[in-house]
Amino acid sequence: MTTLTQSTLHSSALALLLAIGSHTVSAQTEPTQDQAASESNSAAVPLDNTAPAKAVIAPTAPLDSPSVPASNAANTDPSTSSELIPTAIEPVNSATQTEVASDPVLAEQASAIEAKQILEPSGPVLMPLHLLGTTVQPNQATLLQWEFEATFVDASAQVPVLVVNGANPGPTLCLTAAVHGDELNGIEMVRRVIHSVDPEKLSGALIGVPIVNLQGFQRANRYLPDRRDLNRYFPGHVKGSYASRIAYSFFTQVVQHCDFLVDIHTGSLSRTNLPQIRANLLIPEVAALAEKMGSIVVLQSKGGSGTLRRATTDLGIPAVTLEAGAPNNLQKEAVESGVKSIMSAIDSLGMTTPKPFWKRSEEPVFYQSTWIRARKGGILFSKVELGDSVRKGNVLGLLSDPITNKTTKIIAPFDGRVIGMALNQVMYQGFAAYHIGLKSSIVEAAQPPELVPEDISLETSNETSAPSELASPANDAEQLIDETVPNNSDNPVLEPESKPNPIEDMALPTADPDE
């Protein structure tokens, strides 16, 4: 029998203790197979913001060996601390989690809250703009095409549509120009505005259509090839006339995607307009948009039947008309004034950072206006300029007969301001000569103007004259334009199209033959 010495026992005991200690440390530092698999699966889940998120509820079963953060490992060593220092980590099997796990109702509510937190965005949602079959992503500027099968020469007429979709959410503003093909100022306004906007700094979207009536523009003509005025046929009809079908296509594919619209025009047929906004101020949303256009003359006008502005407003989209300058001309001052007005609206709508575009001044609002017509024919020589204030009895212009050498004065029948006028030209009886804004409040607009007495003498020693004629309300002036009113008599099953109404706006407002 072997006898164990005391030294041998001590050596054996020491070796046993060292072996036990080594096994304990290994067990605490190496994760279990289940824990390793769990950690591996968690690390393999990618964060993909584009994929729909799903709520995942973690298991509530307690772990066998809760781990201790490395930063607190020293605090658990009995040799360095006599007590455990609590950490901020809540135990997995806490009383709160146990209560939730044991109550199905609470567990369902907790799951719903967690899923909502995962699925809900933390800020405003940036939405792409879907237009003309194309998706324009946020912070993107692009060129689209509006196509209308229009001619037998080309398969389709492609009209450029400029789109800037901002990096931030906001409204969609639509700018249209050259609905009449000879109006050039608006084309340049749209170009300057669209290409000056940085999509990264834009909230919302801008849609610019610089040349709506492409066929008229190609012929330097106000009208469509069939001599119809496109701006008398909105919103159009899918089975209507040629003009009506074009209007319907543009209205449904472009205009209906907008939150606001500014339709840009000039004077027509050798007439020019002071930069001005035309709007139905009786509609609060439209009045608010007109106010955002800055320091510019505003004319109360419901808009003629069939105009793009009227059809858009009737749809519930606030719309105004911006008039500036004359046709077949590119006029620097008119363009600059229009650009400032549009940029003022963009700023005021919260789409860009506001900038001071205008000096601090207020332009008048005219709640009624009238076209003064020529009662005799002749060559017109104007005595006033756009923007001039006139008094009742002032001479606006002279009509000279080149054969008889007789001259007729055109007299202002009331106080007002020249907001539109004919250029010097040959005029015939009934031609619209001067557009006078005369009422500054809606209350005054209900009162008839005090006219110049009919017996006032306008003759000079070598002149014969006749008193100027107060224009009938503005839509009457549309009859001066060679218009073709839509006629569906040959196809009675079609719905009636929009037609100009010469007496529609007699009470308030008065529209304009140029729009």
pLDDT in tens, 288-336: 999 999 999 999 999 999 999 999 999 999 999 999 999 999 999 999 9
pLDDT at position 508, please? 32
Residue ranges per structural domain of the chain: 129-365, 370-474
pLDDT band at 514 (very low <50, low <70, confident <90, very high): confident
pLDDT band at 98 (very low <50, low <70, confident <90, very high): low
How far the first Cα of the chain sits from its last, in Å, is 126
Nearest CA to 344 out of 358, 365, 334 is that of: 358
Which residues neighbour 200 within 8 Å (Cβ) at sequence distance 6 or greater?
139, 166, 167
Q: What are phi and psi of 308, to 5 degrees?
A: -60, -40
pLDDT at position 290, please? 96
26: helix, strand or coil:
helix
pLDDT in tens, 437-454: 987 766 665 555 555 543
From the candidate CATH numbers 1.20.1530.20, 3.40.50.970, 3.30.1490.20, 3.40.630.10, the one assigned to the domain spanning 129-365: 3.40.630.10
- Residue 224 DSSP symbol: -
- Asked whether the beta carbons of 261 and 309 are under 8 A apart, the reply is yes
pTM of the model: 0.66
pLDDT band at 201 (very low <50, low <70, confident <90, very high): very high
Give the separation between CA 368 and CA 346, rounded to whole angstroms. Answer: 27
From the candidate CATH numbers 2.40.50.100, 3.90.480.20, 3.40.190.10, 3.30.420.10, the one assigned to the domain spanning 370-474: 2.40.50.100
